[in-house]
Each structure stands twice: as C-alpha cells, then as structure tokens.
Chain A
Amino acid sequence: MSIRFVGGMLVMLTLLGSAPVLLAQARPDFNGVWTRTGPRPNENFGEGTPPLQAAFRAAYDENRVGLASPAEGGLDEMDPVIYCLPHGMPRGYASTQPFEVIQTPGLVHVLFEASQMLRRRIYLDGRKMPENYPPTYMGFSTGRYDGDTLVVETAGLDETTWLDTSGTPHSDSLRITERMRRSGPDRMEIAFRFEDAKAFTRAWQDSKAYQLRTDWQLMENTGYCEDRFRYNYSQKVFKGTVDWQSPEQAAGGR
C-alpha cells in the first residue's frame, strides 16, 4: 500500500477522534470566573440619566440628592444593599466583584461573589416562567444559543433593587435581554437591553466587557452587613426580639 493511502487513513482517523471536540466547539464556552475589564469600571448601566417615567425619575432624584456628578453612585442611605438586601439582577453584572459561569446541557449557572453570593439559573430547555411565580431578586431566566451567542430573557424581577449603583429604580415589569458572546481568547461581552413599561419611557441598552480569570476563586461573601451580624450575634442584641415582626405583621396584616 502507498504512503499516500496510509496518510489519508491517519487524517480521517484523526478527524473522527476529534469529532466530539469539534461539536463541542460549536457551542460557545462561557465557563470560568469573569471580572469587569478596565482599571476602574463604571458600576452603572448607560451614560447619564436613564429614560425614566415621571414617578420613577422622582425616585431616582431622591436617591441622588446633593450629588454633583452623574458618575457618582447613589446615596448609601437610600441603597438597598446597605440594608443587607441583595444586588440582584442586573446590578450584579455591573459589580467589580467576579462571577463564575458553569454551563451544563440544560442549564447555565451564574454564581456571583457580590452580595451574599447570589446566583442565577438560566434554563435552556424551553420552559416558561410558571404562573404566579413569586418575584425574586435574580428573576426567572430562560436562554437559547444563537450561533456564537447565548440569548437570555429575564422577567419576574423583584422591584426592591437598584438597577445599578447610580440608584436607577425599576418596577416588577422590568424585562432584561442579554446577548452573551466570547469576544476574544479571554474576553466576553454581554449586551444588555432593558425594558420596563412602568418605569422607562423606552427600551435602552448598554454593553459590558469581562475578562477571564483562570487563577481566581470566588471568595465567600456574606455581604455588606456581615460585621453588623457578627456584632449582633456576639452581643445577642436581638435577645428578646427573636420573634421579630414588622409592625404590619404584628398587627396581623402583611
């Protein structure tokens, strides 16, 4: 037999052996730990004031009383995270703390370091958000691959979060569409589109870029309030108030 025939066989066998790898490469790979690119990334979405309807613009202004520059973050005392509430979606993506993506066949997990390590599940199996699903800080997300992009739709968001650090409010009608795409060997871009029929005058968009950190680990994070929790625990300052109820609950309402 000729060398050419042997060579041809070897090429064919190599291709067969590599077929699983080639098929896997058809689906974009977002696995790993990611952080925002740039030395001092802006933790806001969009430039300047977002397109807010009147009542929500008033809330935004209240979150920013006395601030000179649009780039400054909203007032701490108005910020839900200071009261130990989570960043939620989409604010976690504007954080400078890392997040980790784990892709499995039917589900993409995104684990955040910020804010008590909240996480999301992006369902890829075509399911719809169940009726009467309670609003959550991370929302209910479904996704599908579109070539090199993972397209994600999120709804069912709890209104008790700021969209970003500037203090942008939103309602429970907020819907977020993300298009995630690998933009380089260690880079990813997410294009966010925000729609909120109650809070925004129109849909608006922003993109964020992230870099892969192969040697990073997410650290345990109990949130901004951990010092307070530890102090209260050491002093038992909830002693006598263990069955703590808000006044509404105590009055039998909700």
Chain B
Amino acid sequence: MSIRFAWLLLPAVLLPGSAPGLLAQSRPDLSGIWAREGRTAQMNFSEEAPPMQAWAKTAYDENQGHAAERGQGLDELDPTTYCLPVGMPRAMAYNYPFEIVQTPQVVYILFESWQMQRRIYLDGRTQPEAAPLRYLGFSTGRYAGDTLVVETSGLSDRTWLDNSGVPHSDALQVTERLRRSGPEKIENALRFEDPKTFTRPWESSMTYELRPNFEILENIGFCEDRFLYNYDQKIFRGTVGWQSPEAAAGK
C-alpha cells in the first residue's frame, strides 16, 4: 500500500471530528441576554392599529377603553391582570430581558417575565393534530444564511397580541426572521397572519440590544402579591377543590 493512498484517507478521518466545528461556525450566533432597545414605553408592534376585521376592531376599541389616542389597553381587560401569561407574540415586544440559548436541536428563548420558556425546534418535528393550544404556541425554525427563520402556530387566543390590546384568534401564525444586525444587536422582522382576525397579513420589526451585564431575575408574573396574600390568609381554605362552574357541571 502506498503513501499516496494513505493521504487520500486523511480527510475521511479528520472531517467527522471537525465537521461540528465547521457547522457551528456557519450558524449565526444569537446567544446571550437581550432586551428591547430604545423607547419601550409603548410595547406594541405597530404605531397605528393593525388592519382588523370588524369583530376584532370592536374588541380592540373596548380594550382601548374607546380612547381618543392609541395607548395601553385597559388593565381590567388585560389577561395578564388575571395572572395569565403574556404569551407569544406579546413577549417579543416586552421590555423585560430574555436569554437565547442555542443547541443543535432547539433554540431556547428564556424570558424573565413569567419565567416563560420558548422552544424553537430545529429538527423538523411537527406537533400532533390534537395538540393543545399554548400561550407560547408551537415553534419550528431553520437557519437561512445569517437568519433564524421561525414559524409559530397553535397559539391560544387567550392572550393579547401586544400591550395595546389587539386581539387574535387561534389561527394566528407568526413568522420571525431573527438576525444579528450588529455586534450587540438582533433585528426581529415579524409577520402576523390571522385570516380570522386581520384583513391581511402585516409586519413589524423589533430590535434587541445585547445586555451582557444583565441577570435574568426570577419573576412569576404580576399576581405574586395576590398569591402571597391569599396564602398568608388561607383565603382558599374551604375552596381547595375550587372548580369553575363549567367544570363543576362536568364539562
């Protein structure tokens, strides 16, 4: 056997060991702790109200309290006031930090608010037909050059799309294109499609800044004070087997 033949075998031996390294280098790095840049008082996806169908506009106006100027939705109509999670996509417009952790099969987005865990599956998996709707939906993603493209569906309609109180149905599909647009910036180009709610798809853009000195703190949502008080006073004593009337009626 000649040396020439041995050299031909060289790439076959070295490549498997180094392939993961090469693949990792071609994958955009989105990892780190991020928060919305700029003026985050308005945690909305659009300056003006998006293009809504009639029923949605009615609900939106009610959520806005029929205010003359577009602002934050009314607390008393906001699901988060009732201790429900912010959910998707509202979490992506929130001004609390989140952490992106990339692994080969899953990209995790770990939010400070409500400790929400978003999983973006990269392995092409689908969810079963009868899968339950979720506040964060079901997300799949793929890398396209320098961009992570994410599709989210299976969203519970029990959330506001954003802080202004835009409603949505369970047919909502959100597409995000996340791209490292600078050493300390990620741009997220979002597209919202909901044939039951909007008159046409519409788009938005969010920019996040890297916050290397931030720490994600524990946050169990807006209702913690209420929980602690109820626990201290044992206010559910005697109602431990609490059921909504529907559940009690055997629904």
Cα separation A6 to B4 with both chains bound (whole Å): 10
Interface size on A, residues (CB 8 A): 60
Q: For chain A, residues 8 to 55, give those with C-beta under 8 angstroms from any C-beta of chain B.
A: 9-10, 13-14, 16-21, 31
B89 touches A (CB below 8 Å) = no
Note all chain B residues with C-beta closer than 8 A to A18. 17
- B6 and A21 contact, CB distance less than 8 A: no
* Interface residue from B1, B117, B226 paired with A6 (Cβ < 8 Å): B1
Give the interface segment out of B40-48, B183-191, B217-225: B217-225
CB distance from B208 to the nearest CB of A (A): 19
Closest to B216 in A: A121
Nearest-CB distance from B10 to chain A (Å)? 6
Enumerate chain A residues within 8 angstroms of B79, measured Cβ to Cβ.
233
Interface readout for A220-233 with B: 1 if CB under 8 Å, 0 if not? 10100111111111
Find out whether the CB atom of A76 lies under 8 angstroms from the CB atom of B240.
Answer: yes
Residues of A within 8 A of B83 (CB): 84, 225, 229, 232
Residues 212 to 251 of chain B near chain A (Cβ within 8 Å) = 216-218, 220-221, 223-231, 234-238, 240, 242-245, 247
A124 sits at the interface (CB 8 A):
no
Across the interface, A1 reaches (CB within 8 A) one of B3, B136, B237, namely B3
8 Å CB interface, B126-175 against A:
132, 134-136, 158
The reply to whether B101 and A109 form a contact with Cβ atoms under 8 Å apart is yes
Check A20/B17 contact, CB under 8 A, given A83-B230, A84-B223, A230-B158. yes
Taking a contact as CB atoms under 8 Å apart, the answer to whether A86 and B220 are in contact is yes
Q: Which of B108, B117, B135, B236 has most chain A Cβ within 10 Å? A: B117
Interface core residue of B116, B134, B220 (most chain A CB under 10 Å): B220
A160 touches B231 (CB 8 A): yes
Q: Which of A104, A117, A238, A246 contacts B76 (CB 8 A)?
A: A238
Q: Are A21 and B135 interface neighbours, CB within 8 A?
A: no
Bound-state CA distance A52–B217 (Å) is 31
Q: A17-B16, A83-B227, A229-B82 are in contact. Are A117 and B115 (CB under 8 A)?
A: yes
Q: Interface residue tally of chain B, by bracket?
A: 35 or more
- Report how far A245 CA is from B81 CA in the complex, Å: 13
Interchain CB contact (< 8 A) of B82 among A1, A160, A232? A232
User: Quick one: closest B residue to A111, CB to CB?
Assistant: B117
Q: Is A197 in contact with chain B by the CB < 8 A criterion?
A: no
Check if B110 is an interface residue, CB within 8 A of chain A.
yes
Q: Which residues of B contact A131 (CB under 8 A)?
A: none
Q: A189–B14 Cα gap in the complex (Å)? A: 36
Closest chain B CB from A102 CB (angstroms): 6
State whether A84 touches B227 (Cβ < 8 A).
Answer: yes
A119, B117: Cβ atoms closer than 8 Å:
yes
**Contact call B13/A227, Cβ cutoff below 8 A:** no
Q: Are A137 and B17 in contact, CB atoms less than 8 angstroms apart?
A: no
With A242-B75, A246-B229 given, is the CB distance from A16 to B14 under 8 Å? Answer: yes
A230 near B238 with CB under 8 A, answer no
Contacts of B2 in A (CB 8 A): 1
Residue pair A236, B77 in contact (C-beta under 8 Å): yes
Q: In residues 194-222 of chain A, which contact B (Cβ within 8 Å)?
A: 217-220, 222
**B residues near A21, Cβ cutoff 8 Å:** 17
Given the complex, which residues of A lie within 8 Å of B18, measured CB to CB? 17, 20
Q: Tell me, in angstroms, the Cα distance from A86 to B132 when the chains sit together.
A: 23
Q: Is B114 an interface residue (CB 8 A)?
A: yes
Is the CB–CB distance between B220 and A137 below 8 Å? yes
28 contacts between A and B (CB under 8 A): A1-B2, A6-B3, A10-B13, A13-B9, A13-B14, A16-B17, A17-B14, A18-B17, A20-B20, A21-B17, A83-B236, A84-B227, A85-B227, A85-B231, A102-B101, A104-B101, A116-B115, A117-B115, A218-B117, A225-B83, A226-B84, A227-B244, A228-B244, A233-B82, A236-B76, A238-B82, A242-B76, A246-B226
Known: A6-B1, A231-B244. 20 other contacts (CB 8 A): A1-B1, A1-B3, A3-B1, A77-B240, A84-B227, A84-B230, A85-B231, A86-B220, A102-B103, A102-B108, A104-B101, A109-B101, A118-B220, A136-B217, A220-B135, A227-B242, A232-B82, A242-B81, A244-B225, A246-B225
